[in-house]
């Protein structure tokens, strides 16, 4: 059991920053929100409806970028983003434009056709993050998104997050690195450490 008694709401345009010590449950909470693991108790709602009532419809609304890149070494950034766009169900006539815009936004144009095994850690991280634009969704779940990013690219990511929120998107972020995110709520998971008799994870 990682945490108990936790509850929060995230409105359109909102951002939630998850904080806490190592092992406090930041990644676990993101994985619960992504429906990758099931909580021992409690409910996850999207709008007013329980996610378990139609999990596929909920998953269609989210993008989860974990702390590992999840980038196939043999694919190029362009091929990787085309794959994610197809998986999202983006119309084939739209996906090339979205992919090109994503490559440009994350400054991947010069390496767009290189195999990912040739890329630096920062370039691979930007390739993973670029799927947020190539395969857009309204809810972004980001685990340590600034890992391997230099200051310039972190600032660029912060701007992309701001644009997503301005369009009504939602963001939940776990990051050890301070990020410039305006009007962001913070949730400190250490405050929800379970008592010995607690029986629920959420």
**Domains of the chain, start order:** 1-61+138-202 (3.40.50.300), 72-136 (no CATH)
* pLDDT at residue 33 in the model: 96
Distance CA 51, CA 58 (A): 6
pLDDT band (50, 70, 90) for residue 1: low
- Exposure string of 99-134, with b = 16+ CB inside 10 Å and e = fewer, is beebbebbebeebbeeebeebeeebbbbbbbbbbbb
* pLDDT at residue 199 in the model: 44
Distance CA 191, CA 186 (A): 12
SS3 65: strand
Q: Is residue 41 over pLDDT 50?
A: yes
**pLDDT (tens digit per residue) in 75-86:** 999 999 999 999
Q: Which residue has the higher pLDDT, 65 or 184?
A: 65
Global pTM reads 0.92
Q: Is residue 151 over pLDDT 70?
A: yes
Backbone angles phi, psi at 143, to 5 degrees: -105, 110
Q: Is residue 62 over pLDDT 90?
A: yes
DSSP 136: -
* 115-120 mean pLDDT: 98
Cβ-based neighbours of 124, under 8 Å, separated by 6 or more: 69, 71, 116, 148
């Amino acid at each position: 059991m990682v945490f108990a008694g936790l509850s929060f709401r995230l409105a359109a345009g909102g951002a939630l920053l998850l904080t806490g010590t190592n092992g406090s449950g930041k990644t676990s909470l993101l994985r619960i929100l992504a429906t990758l693991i099931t909580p021992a108790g409690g409910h996850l709602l999207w709008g007013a409806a329980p996610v378990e009532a139609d999990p596929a419809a909920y998953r269609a609304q989210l993008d989860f970028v974990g702390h590992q890149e999840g980038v196939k070494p043999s694919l190029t950034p362009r091929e990787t983003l085309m794959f994610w766009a197809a998986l999202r169900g983006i119309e084939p006539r739209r996906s090339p434009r979205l992919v090109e815009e994503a490559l440009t936004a994350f400054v991947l144009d010069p390496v767009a056709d290189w195999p990912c095994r040739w890329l630096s850690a920062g370039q691979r991280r930007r390739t993973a993050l670029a799927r947020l634009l190539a395969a857009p969704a309204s809810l972004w779940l980001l685990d340590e998104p600034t890992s391997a990013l230099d200051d310039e690219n972190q600032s660029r990511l912060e701007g992309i997050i701001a644009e997503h929120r301005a369009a009504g998107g939602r963001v939940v972020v776990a990051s050890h690195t301070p990020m410039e995110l305006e009007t962001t709520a913070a949730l400190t998971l250490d405050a929800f450490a379970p008592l010995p008799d607690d029986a629920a994870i959420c």
